[in-house]
Amino acid sequence: MKHKFLPLLVLAMSVLVACGPTTPTTPSSGDSTAVAAVDSTPVIKDTATVVDVPVVTADSQAITPPPVDNTGKKVDAGTPDPITTTYRMTVSFISKGGGIDSKAKVKFDAFVAGYETANKVKLAHETVTWGREGEIDYCYKLAELKDPKKTAFVKESMALLTGNDRVQFKENANCRVKRK
């Protein structure tokens, strides 16, 4: 600890010596502009001032977590939107080097269109393309449906494409950040 304190002490002493003592100077004439022309050195206080700092709680909007994608990895989103939206269901068509399963995507699109027709509702969703091989996410809030129908839609969607290793489902998660 002595070794860390010594360089700080030497630095502080050199600053004090460099500043030197200051003597107030007053102009001999009554001209007030002469005071401004006198070299004024900064005044160094030898006492610390304690300032009250407002407490910031963990749920405060002042603390913003770093942006992450659906896998939890940090992403650089430039200036992230401070308001994040949780989507009831996200369907991701992924690739493992050979492109997405386009038949599964067509099958899901047909299922959604049929559901909308049968229930006389238009399901709003975000479409996010994010890969080089056609990777795409469909993010649904399902605000148009009541809770029992939301749950049924999610279960039917998952059952439709279960077992496909190139389709992933997420529930109650944020949508992937769009590429710029």
23 forms beta bridges with none
Q: How far apart are CA 102 and CA 71, in angstroms?
A: 23
By C-alpha distance, which of 139, 119, 142, 117 is closest to 129?
139
The per-residue pLDDT for range 83-97, each reduced to its tens digit, is: 567 999 999 999 999
Q: What is the pLDDT of residues 4-58, one digit of tens each?
A: 666 666 667 666 666 666 555 555 555 555 555 555 556 555 655 555 656 655 5
Measured from the Cβ of residue 147, the count of other Cβ atoms closer than 10 Å reads: 9
Bridge partners of residue 140, in order along the sequence: 89, 125
Q: What is the pLDDT of residues 72-124, one digit of tens each?
A: 666 655 554 445 679 999 999 999 999 999 999 999 999 999 999 999 999 99
What Rg do the C-alpha atoms of the chain give, in angstroms? 32
What φ, ψ does residue 85 adopt, rounded to 5°? Answer: -110, 130
One-letter amino acid for residue 88 of the chain: R
What is the separation of C-alpha 67 from the centre of its chain, rounded to a whole number of angstroms?
3
